[in-house]
Amino acid sequence: DAKTTQPPSMDCAEGRAANLPCNHSTISGNEYVYWYRQIHSQGPQYIIHGLKNNETNEMASLIITEDRKSSTLILPHATLRDTAVYYCIVRSLEGTASKLTFGTGTRLQVTL
């Protein structure tokens, strides 16, 4: 699976949009971009995923550049409960396990 690069930490004011970037310049054509988050002392939680089109669900939006070498996760109105480590993962759906390969993620701190 391709490697991802994320900033180690970011801050965001409550109520504002949080834009979390991710670089994945070696992504292959059949690899998806997944985002998970991990709130302190909990297991990771799925947020969203996409291949090449932008995606939106009730939690977030995912913007993938046309060349697919980078993406941005957008939390439109961040709250204190969004404080967590956010992991950008490039995942191939081929192979037996289709396992997740986590990096060190971005620690998002939402403040009042």
44, 59, 61, 72: which one contacts other proteins (CB under 8 A)? 44
Minimum distance, C-beta of residue 76 to other proteins, in the bound complex (Å): 21
Site size toward other proteins (CB under 8 A) is: 23
Report yes or no: 38 and 85 within 8 Å, Cβ to Cβ: yes
Which class for 111: exposed (0-12), middle (13-18), buried (19 or more C-beta within 10 A)?
Answer: exposed
Tell whether residue 105 is a contact of other proteins (CB under 8 A): yes
Minimum distance, C-beta of residue 107 to other proteins, in the bound complex (Å): 10
Minimum distance, C-beta of residue 101 to other proteins, in the bound complex (Å): 7
Give the 3-state secondary structure of residue 66: coil
The dihedrals phi and psi of 80, each to the nearest 5 degrees, come to -60, -30
Chain positions 69 to 88 lying near other proteins, rule: CB under 8 A, are: 85, 87
Most distant pair of Cα atoms in the chain: their distance: 45
Residues that bind other proteins (CB under 8 A): 32, 34, 41-46, 49, 85, 87, 91, 93, 96-105
